Amino acid sequence: MTETGAETGTGAEAGTGSGAETGAGAEPQSVPAARDRRVLRAVGRWSTALLLCLGLGAGTAYGIGSMEREDVPGLATDDDGRWTYSKLSLPALPKGSPRPFSQQSDAGIHHADLRKLLLPAPEGARQDKKLTGGWTTREQFLSEYAEEARPRIRLALTEYAVRHVAARGWTMPDGTASRIYLLRFNHADTALRFAYEGPGSYDNSDAGQPLKGTLPLKEDVTWDTLGGMPGVSAYPFLEPGDGGATHTRQAYVHAGDTLALLVQEKKGGAAAVPFHQTLVLQSQLLS
């Protein structure tokens, strides 16, 4: 979010020993040249092996992140704070429509119903009465941001012609409130332009335009990466300290023609584990 190529020559080399003799009349093979070739082949094999291991490691991390706890050895007994979600599956696509990041879709278009790409609420959650997993308005999306940030974001929503906005929200028994918005545009480039000119030029250290009632959010240094989800980028942030009365975590996910906003907040501190879990699962649905 490495493809490797290996030279696998199988022919045996003649005269590789330091005292090898050639047939009569033939010039002796250069020992330094042969040694150099062996060194280059060894380096190539070790480089390929290293890259392969790194690729397997990233794939393994992604696989573990997507498993249920009981599927991962060593994680079945201790409660690490993750929430319990129902089994997730990607929605069916209209006949003949490609996946968003296939070779047939260079624009990163999600052809599935945007509402079906929203992460469902976990077990035990109380559904938000306004954000029920259906369509919502631009104004509802804008309400997440500070008053002074809304004119800029409203203008960008119009300029880049957002096509649909879907949202879901819920509150867990411990008081953690979550809200997810999905915004769909007509092209991956359009979604990216909106992200930079609307919510802000966010990167790994600055969340851009402020959310309502929060301190400036900073980089979430505990986040690793999505790894293994080509075409999907996640940018998580959090309030420094305990954030006052309510502590907030926020993330943007850019996935082709769709931009996601994820907000989690809790009095006394929003925990990292369920936030990262929710971020990974929502990203998977957009991959």
Q: What is the pLDDT of residues 28-59, one digit of tens each?
A: 444 444 444 343 333 333 333 333 333 333 33
Q: pLDDT of 144-199, one tens digit each?
A: 999 999 999 999 999 999 999 999 999 999 999 999 999 999 998 899 899 989 99
Query: What is the distance between the alpha carbons of residues 117 and 282, in angstroms, rounded to a whole number?
Result: 8
Query: What is the distance between the alpha carbons of residues 228 and 67, in angstroms, rounded to a whole number?
Result: 14
Please classify residue 198 by burial: count the beta carbons closer than 10 Å to its beta carbon, then call 0-12 exposed, 13-18 middle and 19+ buried.
buried
pLDDT beyond 50 at 86: yes
Which pLDDT value is given to residue 170? 98
Confidence of residue 259 (pLDDT cuts 50, 70, 90): very high
What type of residue is 49?
A
Query: What is the distance between the alpha carbons of residues 204 and 1, in angstroms, rounded to a whole number?
Result: 15
Please classify residue 260 by burial: count the beta carbons closer than 10 Å to its beta carbon, then call 0-12 exposed, 13-18 middle and 19+ buried.
buried
Which pLDDT value is given to residue 273? 94
**How is the chain split into domains, by residue range?**
27-76, 109-285
DSSP per-residue codes, 172-193:
-TTS-EEEEEEEE-SSHHHHHH
Q: Which two tokens stand for residue 26?
A: 């033939």
Beta carbons of 165 and 234 less than 8 angstroms apart: no
Confirm whether pTM is higher than 0.75.
no
In CATH, 109-285 is 3.40.50: no
List the beta strands (DSSP E) in 60-163.
Answer: 126-135
Closest of 246, 226, 134 to residue 182, by C-alpha = 134
Query: What is the mean predicted confidence (pLDDT) over 192-221?
Result: 84
Beta carbons of 279 and 237 less than 8 angstroms apart: no
What type of residue is 16?
T
Q: pLDDT of 222-237, one tens digit each?
A: 888 777 788 888 999 9
Confidence of residue 79 (pLDDT cuts 50, 70, 90): confident
Q: pLDDT of 101-145, one tens digit each?
A: 666 666 777 768 899 999 999 999 999 999 999 999 999 999 999
Which pLDDT value is given to residue 75? 36
Query: What is the distance between the alpha carbons of residues 108 and 177, in angstroms, rounded to a whole number?
Result: 30
Which pLDDT value is given to residue 157? 96
Which pLDDT value is given to residue 92? 80
Query: What is the distance between the alpha carbons of residues 241 and 33, in angstroms, rounded to a whole number?
Result: 62
Which pLDDT value is given to residue 252? 94
